[in-house]
Structure 1
């Protein structure tokens, strides 16, 4: 590398340049490594600037040659008679978590907010638990026992890890606010749009508490206590906030509290709430409408009023799309205008009229216009029919086995059965089956935003799958089911930790998509964190470090996070420069 002055007159600039030989020729090709600045201005500020830059270029060239020079190491040949005779290896994929942890300023945040004397140690323990769960989800005890496997992780006592759960429980709102501020600045988050859904997490216990209660289980764990989680997610699939409710809380009773937290978090006057049909209750729609909020929520045709069903079956006003080859209808859409009755509290000077029971009326009924967007597709109709046929086929095999039918009832199969009071002589109800088939292929979305087209409504609602996927990630990949914690405070801390892990993994997905156009699953990202190993040969401190088991996702994320490129063989110093992990912690 050398210093060059290029250009003419006052437009001359100083550059670092490098010459490389063109393969198969004697010619050289010049590369501009970096443009330093305007020559005239820099010379006026420092007459010795050229000499200084030449010295800097020489140092860079020397460092580059050193980094690519072969490493000399004497490796002894020994019999392997015990596990300690094997070349040591350490996980280092958490370098990605470490870099993000710093970028998101979570190290400083937890040191300041933990409220503990040993705040720095608590912050280190929390970072390790997050890194471990993103790679090897497990109990805190197991995570604590595996510290020595992780490069650059100082060994901490088990008791400190349970302090982490208390800190997370106490600082949950502050954690949510800190993450919200970060994602608002670093992503294209639409603060006024939120996806909402609810799920349950069961315990392997019947012992109840403040949060642990019996209730309707979405995992069919009806003989175990559970907690209910409401999760709000943004347009990128990154979580915004979450709320925990006692296990006997109905889905419909969770939305109000979560939305109020979201409004407070961003200081919003108006938001659009997108939710599944389980949240479509009169009280929820009433709350959203009275609060001036917009909603896009699935509408259940089967449970709608007969007057509305007649509009659905009416063949008028449908917009049809046909297959150009066969001429068959493959998609239909229709918009139905409806009014929703909402109770509006009366002002004090309006409370005068006496109701039926001799009490002043506190509410008046207002009709709020909404639109119900109906769609039908041949593809969805075929799937609905196939799903029902599979269910009926299973039921037919169980008709003469009452004990198996009882289990099927808990999974919603009773909609197709005709039962006697004594639960004997069960048979399929053909009328119910025929009625269900009428709804094959139909979908309905209700919204109070009258300006949205059917295409816009379906696109907004279509993002709801991301929150359903987030619940699957929490339950399956991150193993968020609270099997190993029991006190209410530790339960709250455990879910805050899982929420933080989900935010980090989803943000990694966002970075891969927005900066590289790569669509990568959370499972693949967790593998990129879990798999990388570094082999250490030689005797400390004169060792050679060899990275192995590295995926393409790791390399791309490392590049996005601006980590230096790994070498096939490195010194400890070079490894620390590339990963920000100090292996000497493990080797001393």
Structure 2
């Protein structure tokens, strides 16, 4: 039994086709099988396709899943139209379109136009940048990612050694690339660069047992901001705009102190001729030498000051009387000028009532714990201390609230409690610019969180750590690749108003199917959803076309 098409030619030359359900019946006289019509569905141009669909479904009810699958396979084989594979498209297409919108492809092609390689260096570098944002992996893992998981025009496949070659070339072009990227990004997105935020972090390495990192002059042990002092590391610096866009990256040996990088950072940024720049930095950079460096060339700074450092000027600023003024909800500020003439220093004390209440609540819990510990000691005057008493006295949290009397007993230090109370909910800021308002200073410093957010993205979303590279040039190139990925991620987040995680989940659902026929290959995208269209529209780039590519067979 089968469905057949019968065509009849009319007198006017037109043709009409009829669809019929038929089966073959043996004719003993004619000695061959003849078709017998069981049911006529009517003219093909008037055919109700729902009828055929219901018929097919009713037949499939009597077939096992295996038999139904074989049936479909026979139909596909007859039609010679095969569905070969599906790959992720949305994320890498969005990244690629923004990459080209920023002119990154043109910049790299110009930089590498004199260099001959077996692959397109620009495509290889873009692939590494996109990989950090979409599915962070090793360079070896990228071989399978490129060939099997994503659709990337211009780079259908790549080998690990080719990616390493591209990294080496990228490092040589770092300075020129950063200059061109900053010009293009700042002009295209109208970035405000009067305030630049700078901070450093560290990122550690996994070292093989047979390696000797002690002979390395770049992977070194130092103060670890990842709480991994047992591992060698590198120090990374970022300059970020008030919109959170990272415009420049630095990398230094792992034992580099924050105090020692300011002169290099200042020199590099002055080379961009940005005009009046106010550098915003955390308390780790507040040495007098660093502040003098930041003021060179008519530069200015907004910088945090350590309130417990014991500096006379800081104590004078904190103790100066004055009324706080509210500039935002839960943010009050007052100005404190210390000294005259060249010795004049402008401080701003910021106060957050909610933070103050939180500090008081936490300290109350600590004091209760200290009192309980002291009561359990059962001390006697002039008695030798036992281990519990010594451990309590040197405790990093409890110790500052404990004092030792002349007879050796430990007591609650009430003066220390009163001293801590004056710091509740406060932070101290110093600036060299007298023209800035108190609001600009306080909010400008508060936005230093933009750099901390960038570091979190580098470490959690882009998985910059741990690093496995050994050569310094590869380490530096790896950091540049992560910076470029962070740059694109931040631009997408700013334009869409959504986190990269949510954007990535949505756009990765846009995929491309690979179909083959006897005539060639066809690549067709899935139909974009309303959310996907909205994301591409906000970023200002085009969606992929419905038919992405056709490859006729030669």
**TM-score, normalised via structure 2 length:** 0.71
In structure 2, the CA distance between the partners of 1:331 and 1:157, relative to structure 1 (3 Å rule), is closer
State the match for 2:425 in structure 1.
441
1:198 Cα deviation after fit: 0.8
C-alpha separation between the residues in 1 aligned to 2:371 and 2:205?
33
Residues 309 and 546 from structure 1, CA distance in 2 versus in 1: closer, same or farther, beyond 3 angstroms?
same
Q: Tell me which residue corresponds to 2:89.
A: 92
- TM superposition shift of 1:337: 0.9
Match for residue 309 of structure 1 among 315, 320, 333: 315
Q: Conserved in 1, the CA contact under 8 Å of 2:495 and 2:539?
A: no
Sort the Cα spacing of 1:494 and 1:564 in 2 relative to 1 into closer, same or farther, 3 A: closer
Using the alignment, how far apart are the partners of 1:212 and 1:551 within structure 2?
48
Q: 1:543 to 1:583 in 2, by over 3 A?
A: closer
CA distance in 2 between counterparts of 1:474 and 1:376 reads 31
On the 8 A contact 1:140/1:161 being kept in 2, the answer is yes
Residues 564 and 290 of structure 1: CA distance in aligned 2, closer, same or farther (over 3 Å):
closer
Distance 2:413 2:138 in 1: 48
Residue aligning to 2:192: 190
Give the deviation of 1:368 after TM superposition: 4.4
Provide the residue aligned with 1:146 in structure 2: 145
Measured in 1, the distance between the counterparts of 2:107 and 2:184 equals 12
Deviations 1:337-377 (A, max 9, x none): 1249xxxxxxxxxxxxxxxxxxxxxxxxx834331011223
CA distance, structure 1, for counterparts of residue 370 and residue 111 of structure 2: 56
Query: 1:44 matched to which residue of 2?
Result: none
1:107 to 99, 105, 108: 105
- Which of 211, 214, 219 pairs up with 2:218? 211
Aligned residues: 451
Distance 2:299 2:500 in 1: 32
What is the CA–CA distance in structure 2 between the aligned matches of 1:171 and 1:393, rounded to whole Å? Answer: 59
1:297 corresponds to which residue? 303
The 1-side partners of 2:100 and 2:264 are apart by: 32
Query: Do the aligned partners of residues 471 and 122 (structure 1) sit closer, same or farther apart at CA in structure 2, a change above 3 Å counting?
Result: same
Following superposition, the deviation at residue 333 of structure 1 comes to 2.8
Change (3 A) 1:370 1:103: same
Larger radius of gyration: 2
SS in 1 for 2:453: helix
**Gaps spanning 5+ residues in structure 2: where?**
1-68, 75-81, 378-385
- Pick the aligned partner of 1:485 from 469, 472, 497: 469
Partner of 1:462: 446
Q: Does 1:248 align with 2:223?
A: no
What is the distance in 1 between the residues matched to 2:97 and 2:331? 48
Contact 1:370 1:449 survives alignment (8 Å): no
Task: Provide the secondary structure at the position in 1 that maps to 2:125.
Answer: helix
Contact preservation (8 Å) 2:199, 2:238: yes
Stretch of structure 1 that moved more, 147-156 or 298-307: 298-307
* Partner-residue secondary structure (3-state), 2:236: strand
| CA distance in structure 2 between the aligned counterparts of 1:547 and 1:139, rounded to whole angstroms | 29
Distance 2:433 2:512 in 1: 55
1:162 and 2:164 aligned: yes
- 1:497 equivalent in structure 2: 481
Question: Secondary structure of 1:237's partner?
Answer: coil
Indicate the SS of the match to 1:77.
Answer: helix
CA separation of 1:561/1:506 partners in 2, compared to 1, >3 Å: closer, same or farther? closer
- Any idea what the Cα deviations from partners look like across 1:417-441, whole Å, max 9, x if unmatched? 7699xxxx99986654443232111
Aligned counterpart, 1:60: none
Report the 3-state secondary structure (helix = DSSP H, G, I; strand = E; otherwise coil) of the residue aligned with 2:123. Answer: helix
Alpha-carbon deviation of 1:474? 0.4
Pairing partner for 1:524 from 498, 502, 527: 502
Determine the structure 2 residue equivalent to 1:288: 294
Aligned to 1:361: none
Q: TM-score, normalised by structure 1?
A: 0.68
Match of residue 349 from structure 1: none
Task: State the Cα distance separating 1:194 from its structure 2 match.
Answer: 0.7
Tell me which residue corresponds to 1:370: 345
Q: 1:269 to 1:398 in 2, by over 3 A?
A: farther
CA deviation string 1:121-145 (max 9, x = no partner): 2222111111222100121111122
Match of 1:450 in 2: 434
Q: Deviations over 1:486-518 (max 9, x none)?
A: 110100000000011111111222333xxxxxx
CA deviations over 1:165-199 (Å, ceiling 9, x no partner): 11122111122111111112112223332101111
In the alignment, is the contact (CA less than 8 A) between 2:313 and 2:338 conserved in 1?
no
Cα separation, partners in 2 of 1:287 and 1:574, compared to 1, 3 Å: same
Q: CA deviation at 1:462?
A: 2.2
* 1:279 alignment counterpart: 285
Runs of at least 5 residues in structure 1 that lack an aligned partner in the other structure: 1-74, 80-84, 324-328, 341-365, 513-518, 567-572, 577-581
Residues 1:527 and 1:369: Cα distance change in structure 2 (over 3 Å): farther
1:545 equivalent to 2:524? Answer yes
Q: CA deviation at 1:313?
A: 3.8
Q: Deviations over 1:34-86 (max 9, x none)?
A: xxxxxxxxxxxxxxxxxxxxxxxxxxxxxxxxxxxxxxxxx97249xxxxx98
C-alpha distance in 2 between matches for 1:562 and 1:307:
51
1:8 corresponding residue in structure 2: none
* C-alpha separation in 2, matches of 1:526 and 1:419: 55
Partner of 1:77: 72
Residue in structure 1 matched with residue 134 of structure 2 by the alignment = 135
**Is residue 214–residue 226 contact of structure 1 (8 Å, CA) maintained in 2?**
yes
